[in-house]
Homo-oligomer: A and B are copies of this chain.
Amino acid sequence: MINVSIIGATGYTGSELMRLLVNHPEVTLKHLTARKLAGQKISHTFPFLTSFLKDKCFVTLDIEQIKQDSDVVFICLPHGHAMTLAKELGEDIKIIDLGADFRIEDSDTYEAFYKLPQTAPDLLAKAVYGLTEYHREAIKGAQLIANPGCFVTNALLALSPLVESNLIDSESIIIDSKSGISGAGRSANVDNLLSEAGNNFKAYNPLQHRHIPEIEQELSRFGQTVQIQFTPHLLPTERGIYSTIYVQPRSNISEEALRQLYKDKYAEEAFVHLLDPEQLPTTKAVRGSNHCHIQVKVDQRTGRIIIFSVIDNLVKGASGQAIQNMNVMLGLDESLGLSQSGVMP
């Protein structure tokens, strides 16, 4: 069995790791850390784990204990912490950071968007970006994974086949994304109360969201310098990211050719699916699952390509992909522990 610890287990990426890992056949949960709730039963905070973790309690972070007892550590903390923790955890343990510390290759950009200096350049240099479908080989040999952002995962799965094929104007990309409110985290915040966010819809951070440089960095890997327009919005529900993406092709492309491009790209993937032509994605179809559903359309009238892409922000957008990466790192079946379908209705 693989011994797994989670640093920062009281947020939603932490709780989602627990939800999925209690059913992972090769995993034993060891230390689940919390600051304020250390010593309290996990099931009192997360009663959906009642019959799985019995009387197990959150513990205070103890790096030495974690190093001694863990094969894999997931870090689920706000940015800034993983840079320090990864150093302390050392090189003999697999580390998957669900935060942003190792996502941005350019330290100035990191500092500009995250208002913190990058203090672990050595680790940054060896960290592997964990978009599994595109970095599988590097992930196999990695010790430290920078797990991608939720909006980023959704945008990259939708756009990479087109950008990689050099088919589109690299400055034409407009990504209009809508996320469930769990993306805003589990901290007490008036704006995210049911009374405020329920039955509401709004954009936030439209011109300066932190996922912009991450998307541009990853899309620019394919050769062209990509500049995107990105507008995130909040949906009045817990889970799901839906991106509607508008791009200008360099020259006319048929919908058939476009579909074939995506089919070929994702034919062998367990978690990425091009829907049939008569379908459009829905967030509910992937709720609770690690799947990504994509549809592509060519608007004959305007000449634009429109891509629709959905994931569950907490699964493929965070904890599910983190487990997928763990499976790849450890040479396990990539889908282990991730077999759930979406929960509908």
Contacts and interface: CB of A to CB of B under 8 A. Distances in A.
Interface in A163-178: 171, 174, 176, 178
19 contacts: A12-B345, A19-B341, A23-B341, A41-B276, A44-B279, A47-B275, A50-B291, A51-B291, A178-B201, A181-B193, A182-B345, A189-B193, A192-B195, A200-B282, A200-B283, A200-B284, A204-B280, A207-B306, A343-B343
A224 to B, nearest CB: 16
A240 interface: yes
B273 A244 contact: no
Given A50-B285, A194-B237, A227-B302, 8 more contacts: A48-B289, A51-B273, A174-B174, A194-B236, A200-B283, A206-B244, A288-B343, A314-B345
A287 interface: yes
Contact of A186 (B193, B207, B279, B302): B193
A212 to B, nearest CB: 8
Interface stretch (A104-112, A122-130, A293-301): A293-301
A41 B203 CA distance: 21
A238 B345 contact: yes
A188 interface: yes
B237 A201 contact: yes
